[in-house]
Amino acid sequence: MEDHRIRVLEPPEGIPAKNMPVLTALLDRSTLTAGTITVATGLLVVLGAVLAVSGGYGIAVPSALLVLMTPSALYFGYSALAGSSSMRKLTGKPFRLVSGLDGALVAGSRVSVPLDGRWLVMRLPVPLLAQLAARRRLWVLGRFFVLPGVVVPRRGAVRDKPVKGSVPFAFEPVSPGRMLATQRRLLSAYYFIGVVMLLVASAFGFWTSADYPRRDSVVVRSASVFGYGCAVGAVGLAIVAVVLLRKLPEPRWTELAVVSGPASVNLFGMVTCKGRTVLPGGREVTVTAGGSDPSLAANIAATGRLWVLGEPAAGKTAQAGVPGYAVFGPVRFGR
């Protein structure tokens, strides 16, 4: 008997992109969040400039505001204008399936795909690059694209020529173990970036505590506490990053059927999904997905399936994903 189950989340073919589960809500929330952060960080940049000109507040406070908030304002402003809001305008049109990737080229992390006489150039992290090399399938809408299983669109560039130094993008199978290892390494790299950011923030905290002219001010005490807190947080994050680099044996997946409602996007932009499942021992429990990977919850809601690493247990949190795809995150089982 033919198996008609949906294996992984993909855009609906020939139907407007806005019908893809949670895509519109995710783009709206991303635009609102990025815009709000841009305005807030922009005001802090202005405050830093005012404090620097007015004097009487030392050097550390205005320097911290200018150094930390300026790149944040620029980054989130670009994300809102060129990313989520730009993609949102295209959701009335359908995604276009590109499969096989005949003639595709690769140079490092950049893949050049021939499209309508030109080239769509995509920069991909290692997990998505490995998935694309193995699955040979993606969906395109304007300059944006998504890979099967991935709900967050990425922006590419349309060029007349492929990236210089490119070579043929060959088929390369990827095992679930290798995919999991690449995802853990990428997450570890993000954590190490977080460590650097926390150390920089900690240094500014201690500098502010030592530099602020009014020694009896609450700013001095608060800055010192902030500095110690960021330093402790950096140590903890570094430990987690190192643990993620440990080599693991080939993963063993447990597949579960899940009955759930549609995935939703909460106030913080996190995609969540709640439902019920039956554990291998026969016990029915609730299951909640929603964490570092927004695609996990969307895949569970779209497919009605959940793949958990190892043996799931009631009342525990487990790591889950979609074997062979760049989808990985935590799920929590109820009692």
Query: Does any domain span residue 34?
Result: yes
Query: Does any domain span residue 162?
Result: yes
Distance CA 203, CA 224 (A): 10
Residues 81 and 146 in one domain: no
Query: Does any domain span residue 2?
Result: no
Domain closes at, from 168, 199, 222: 168
Q: Domain range holding 209?
A: 176-245
Query: Does any domain span residue 141?
Result: yes
Residues 316 and 276 in one domain: yes
Residues 112 and 139 in one domain: yes
Residues 204 and 132 in one domain: no
Provide the pLDDT for residue 5.
64
Provide the pLDDT for residue 175.
87
Query: Does any domain span residue 6?
Result: no
- Range 103-124 burial, b when 16+ CB lie within 10 A, else e: ebbbeeebbbbebeeebbbbeb
- Number of domains present in the structure of the chain: 4
Nearest to 324 by CA among 133, 104, 145, 100: 133
Residues 98 and 164 in one domain: yes
Q: Are 146 and 132 in contact (CB under 8 A)?
A: no
Query: Does any domain span residue 8?
Result: no
Distance CA 200, CA 36 (A): 24
Residues 101 and 84 in one domain: no
Domain closes at, from 225, 245, 265: 245
Residues 59 and 83 in one domain: yes
Provide the pLDDT for residue 21.
87
**Sequence letter at residue 323:** P
Query: Does any domain span residue 4?
Result: no
Residues 279 and 222 in one domain: no
Query: Does any domain span residue 144?
Result: yes
pTM, to two decimals:
0.87
Provide the pLDDT for residue 176.
83
Residues 196 and 128 in one domain: no
Residues 69 and 98 in one domain: no
Residues 287 and 219 in one domain: no
Domain closes at, from 73, 89, 105: 89
Provide the pLDDT for residue 82.
86
197: Cβ contacts below 8 Å, ≥ 6 apart: none
Residues 99 and 36 in one domain: no
Q: Which segments of the chain have a pLDDT < 50?
A: 1-2
